[in-house]
Amino acid sequence: MTFFETLIVQNIFPPSLNDPNVILNELPRHFNSQSVTAYGVFKMNVHKEAQRLGVGNNTEINAVVSKMWNSASPADKNQYCVLASATTAVLPRRFPFFEIQYANIIWG
């Protein structure tokens, strides 16, 4: 079975990784303090699910991320937009010189 076939969609929609502070802790150390995007948070959630299922093939994971994001409904994408905005709002606590450079798009 492929990762896409074993993936539990209910762990992705709604986001299982849904705490802005936890998302900040998941950001890589080299994060350049740009705003967090909805797609980036979505990708984190799919990677978490891949880890849970023991999938390590990044090519396969990224293909699933792209496929799922492109087929997601506007309401599903909006959940990630709201979460990304909330995470961006707490970024200044971690990066004191952070300035919001990009706005998240509200899907709908």
pLDDT confidence of residue 13: 84
Predicted pLDDT at 72: 94
Over its C-alpha atoms, the chain yields an Rg (Å, rounded) of 14
User: Rounded CA gap, 103 and 35, in Å?
Assistant: 8
pLDDT of 50 reads: 92
Q: Looking at residue 98, what DSSP letter applies?
A: -
pLDDT at 83: 94
Q: What is the pLDDT of residues 53-89, one digit of tens each?
A: 898 889 999 999 999 999 999 999 999 999 999 998 8
Higher pLDDT, 16 or 32: 16
CATH architecture of 34-108: Orthogonal Bundle (1.10)
Q: What is the pLDDT of residue 46?
A: 94
